[in-house]
Amino acid sequence: MATPHQVQVGNLLYTVVDDCTTTYWAIITGAVTDEILGGFYAPEFTVETGRADLLSKTTANGLFAVTGYPNQSFPGHNSITYPPLTLKLKAPGFRDFTLKVPMTAGLPFPIVITPPPQLRRLPVRVQGRVVNDLTRAPIAGTTVLSVDDPLTPPTVHTMALRTPLYFDHLNTTAVQLVNLVAAGGASLTADVAAANQVLNLSTLAGLSIGAIVQLSSTAGVSVEYGVVVSLSSGVPNLAFLSNRLNRSYAMATTTVQFFNPTPVGGVANLVKDANAGDGVLVANQLLSGTTLVVDTGPLAEYHEIGALTDGDGYYGFEGVGRVQEIFLSSKQAALQQTVGWFIEYDNAINVVGLRLA
């Protein structure tokens, strides 16, 4: 670009550049993949830059580019390091992905994103009915578990939970079985709506900070735990929880019990970080028990392992994702069946029945 010079016209002073060359090109390029299937296809895939001076181009198979005028958007980039550029990658059926791209001084354009970001499928619901294979009679009160592939032992293990996670947890987070020591119980004095984290209780006797409150529906089909972080006695008696509940609970049909949890057995570790709302854990060990704790400290949360069938034999898992296939098993006395299921992520509800023989 030529050296700017000034020209005075009347009372006005103009800065003139005799020839000015601008370049519009790709500043960032990359591609995304499907975390589970690898190949990616989403015609409505978009990339949001959050800046009016930077546009994006995308293709249905996951290629993308952020375009603009480099010298205008990042002047002096050869010697100036700019704050990372935050991109939001979005596609129907996938979780939003936030990508921070370092804008390091001297890094040549286009900046190529490697390795490709893996977009996570939105989790789905898996539900079905457990029946006697001979009589087709429903089997109530039996547990449905996520188990290992009975033919090919896997290197990682999937555990389905009765209620989805409340918090995000990083890869390598500890998971351990717990023994629950009873500390009392109470009744709800007001209905509890989903996403609430305050309980109105008839009594707080036996309850302490760090203890857990168990809410269960009739026959224990729905069981959920909350970690107590604060108490307020009086009218009403209030227990404040660290987590927001996934489900609603009515006074008339909910059983409330207090427990002090004690970790037992060996520790498993997550091999994939988990999101709030996930209903499965992917870990380096398969834990066999009733109740487990994920994480420690302020993010500790407690869950039942497996689903329980209701009076008509129906069961359900919310938040099933992160894996391509799941193996479900149930047994009652000598009756048993294990079913493998390739998860259909394009269907919000997957129906998987079990016939025990």
> pLDDT digit string (tens) for 131-152?
999 999 999 999 999 999 999 9
Q: Is residue 21 part of a domain?
A: yes
Are 67 and 57 in contact by the 8 Å Cβ rule? The answer is: yes
Return the residue matching tokens 């370049």: 23
> Whole domain around residue 75: which residue ranges?
5-119
Q: Is residue 282 part of a domain?
A: no
- The half-sphere exposure of 140 on its side-chain side, counting CA atoms within 13 A, is 7
pLDDT of residue 8: 83
Q: Is residue 94 part of a domain?
A: yes
Return the residue matching tokens 């500043």: 27
Q: Is residue 291 part of a domain?
A: no
Please name which of 200, 356, 148, 165 lies closest in space to residue 275, comparing C-alpha atoms.
165
The single-letter code of the amino acid at 327 is F
Q: What is the share, in percent, of the chain residues with pLDDT greater than 70?
A: 98
Are 46 and 56 in contact by the 8 Å Cβ rule? The answer is: yes
Number of structural domains found in the chain: 1
* Residue 70, preceding peptide bond in cis (omega within 30° of 0): no
3-state DSSP call for residue 220?
helix
Q: Is residue 246 part of a domain?
A: no
pLDDT of residue 6: 85
User: Does residue 20 have a pLDDT over 80?
Assistant: no
Q: Is residue 36 part of a domain?
A: yes
Are 221 and 309 in contact by the 8 Å Cβ rule? The answer is: yes
The CATH number of the domain where 59 resides is what?
Answer: 2.60.40
Are 13 and 20 in contact by the 8 Å Cβ rule? The answer is: no
Q: Is residue 25 part of a domain?
A: yes
User: Does residue 126 have a pLDDT over 70?
Assistant: yes
Q: Is residue 213 part of a domain?
A: no
Under DSSP, the state recorded for 138 is B
How far is 287 from 289, CA to CA, in rounded Å?
Answer: 6
